[in-house]
Chains A and B, each alone.
Chain A
Amino acid sequence: ETGVTQSPTHLIKTRGQQVTLRCSSQSGHNTVSWYQQALGQGPQFIFQYYREEENGRGNFPPRFSGLQFPNYSSELNVNALELDDSALYLCASSWDGSNYGYTFGSGTRLTVV
């Protein structure tokens, strides 16, 4: 299977709840990065996983956590949701963290009410 797929495409949650977003990496890609894109802004780096280990983290609090599985699929978990967490969450995969080989999914639009 080619391409990066993310699920769900849209999600509405209540403040204080927890959410799990999922990503299936492009075949053969062992590196996955997660980004948060607020409306009208560029994507902001959350963290990266390489071979199931966290391999870099942006300026996001610990309530943002992730997992990467042996089949290179991954999850982004956000606890204690806040209104400002409303955004498009993007997953991007690459081979060995190639500097310009990232393939993005279409994202999950999360709305926190």
Chain B
Amino acid sequence: QKEVEQDPGPLSVPEGAIVSLNCTYSNSAFQYFMWYRQYSRKGPELLMYTYSSGNKEDGRFTAQVDKSSKYISLFIRDSQPSDSATYLCATIDNNDMRFGAGTRLTVKP
């Protein structure tokens, strides 16, 4: 079992839709959780990070961690074509950042 599991998609939505991206993780000791966005031919760019359980909101983006179920979510409201990218969830274990496989999102105008 991989430590961080993520549905690779692809996911295609119309502009303005609410997008829900999800990951599960296996190790209950993980405390820090991140979401990265990666455009084609670019490196990952940090979008959101959370510590332990709870929600964090930044503009149209909300990150949610449920430690009881080992579930990580990213919600994108009012999605835009510029949100089209691959979204990677990640956690950290002893300097080793563990990534999910990434979900490829396309937002159609």
A interface, by DSSP: helix, strand, loop or mixed? loop
Bitwise interface map of A from 17 to 47 toward B, beta carbon under 8 Å scored 1, else 0? 0000000000000000101000011111100
Bitwise interface map of A from 77 to 113 toward B, beta carbon under 8 Å scored 1, else 0? 0000000000000101000010110111111000000
Instruction: Give complex CA distance A56, B49 in Å.
Output: 22
A40 with B8: CB separation less than 8 A? yes
Q: In this assembly, does A73 line the interface, its C-beta being within 8 Å of a C-beta of chain B?
A: no
A97 with B101: CB separation less than 8 A? no
B97 with A45: CB separation less than 8 A? yes
Q: In this assembly, does A68 line the interface, its C-beta being within 8 Å of a C-beta of chain B?
A: no
Instruction: Give complex CA distance A66, B49 in Å.
Output: 28
A97 with B95: CB separation less than 8 A? yes
For chains A and B in complex, what number of residue pairs have CB atoms within 8 angstroms? Answer: 58
Q: Which of B12-20, B36-44, B67-75 contacts A (4 or more CB under 8 A)?
A: B36-44
Q: How many residues of B contact A (CB 8 A)?
A: 25
A104 with B95: CB separation less than 8 A? no
Query: Could you tell me which B residues sit within 8 Å of A by CB distance?
Result: 4, 6, 8, 32, 34, 36, 41-46, 49, 88, 90, 92, 94-102
B44 with A104: CB separation less than 8 A? yes
B32 with A99: CB separation less than 8 A? yes
A90 with B32: CB separation less than 8 A? no
